[in-house]
Amino acid sequence: MEPVECPCGEASQTRNRMLLECERYERFRHILGQHDEDRALDTLLGTEKGIARLAEFIEVSNAFAKETVVRSAWSLSTRPLSTFDA
């Protein structure tokens, strides 16, 4: 069973929380648009521009990734280069 808590530690992880509220993704939120109507789920999921912005947000922020994948990517990126050469 997957955890239901948000990666930032809040009790629940929802689409709205991940896209609009979670502090972990604040620095990527501009990708979704500048106005509330740009960030509305019906816009993000129901228009070509919204879907493109959402896809970019997910790719760049790694939002909605499985926690083990995020941890693995993080550990690889923080390992000293010498460990890759072995």
Which domain does 63 fall in, by range? 15-85
**Chain centre distance of CA 47:** 20
13 CB burial (10 A radius; 0-12, 13-18, 19+): middle
Residues in the chain: 86
Q: Is the pLDDT assigned to residue 76 strictly greater than 60? A: no
Spatial distance between the Cα atoms of 18 and 29, rounded to a whole number of angstroms: 10
What's the domain count of the chain?
1
Domain-located, residue 9: no
Confidence grade of residue 2 (pLDDT, cut at 50, 70, 90): low
Spatial distance between the Cα atoms of 68 and 8, rounded to a whole number of angstroms: 15
Enter the pTM of the model. 0.68
Domain-located, residue 21: yes
pLDDT digits (tens, 9 = 90+) for 52-64: 999 999 999 998 8
10-14, 18-22, 39-43, 76-80: least confident range: 76-80
Domain-located, residue 45: yes
* Average pLDDT score, the chain: 79
